[in-house]
Amino acid sequence: MGEAREVMDRLTAAVTTDLDMDAVAELYARDAVAWVPEAGELRGRDEIVEYWRQMTTAVPGARYESLHAFEVGATAIDEGYFSGRNTGPLRVPDGRSVPATGKEVRIRGVDVATVEDGRIVSYRLYFDQLAFLEQLGLLPETVV
């Protein structure tokens, strides 16, 4: 296992089973850049850690089920399911914060992290926002 794979595995643990925002902060370079579906581009460790803090507040005790884990040079790629119960407020794509729904979610996603000198310098997360909001019951009813 290479450095990128080890760092990605530590990040996954820090936002799920081990829930440790200090560890998350240590895993990102100070000037790291991340892209996440609901917030777009995040610049710098502080913005990225705040994103993870919001997600872990919204879905504390989340679990991760790996489907595929790859490492190519300095980049680790994960595909899997993020699941848990929404028991905290959640920031939705338009920037509003909505109260907890108490509903279970199970979202398939892909993470891509590029690592230099033991820290993530570039991170991208892809998941189906529509499925996430639908599972939370936050989509408006459609008229047929």
Burial 40-79 (b: 16+ CB within 10 A, else e): eebeebeebbebbebbbebbeebebeeeebebeebbbbbe
Write out pLDDT tens, residues 58-73: 999 999 999 999 999 9
**Can you give the pTM of this predicted structure?**
0.92
Q: CA–CA separation, 103 vs 119, rounded Å?
A: 34
Mean pLDDT over 75-81 rounds to: 98
Give the pLDDT mean for 13-34.
97
Q: Which of 37-41, 58-62, 80-84: highest mean pLDDT?
A: 80-84
Flag whether pLDDT at 89 surpasses 80.
yes
Residue 51 and residue 40 in contact, taking contact as beta carbons nearer than 8 Å: no
- CA dist 16 and 3 (Å) reads 20
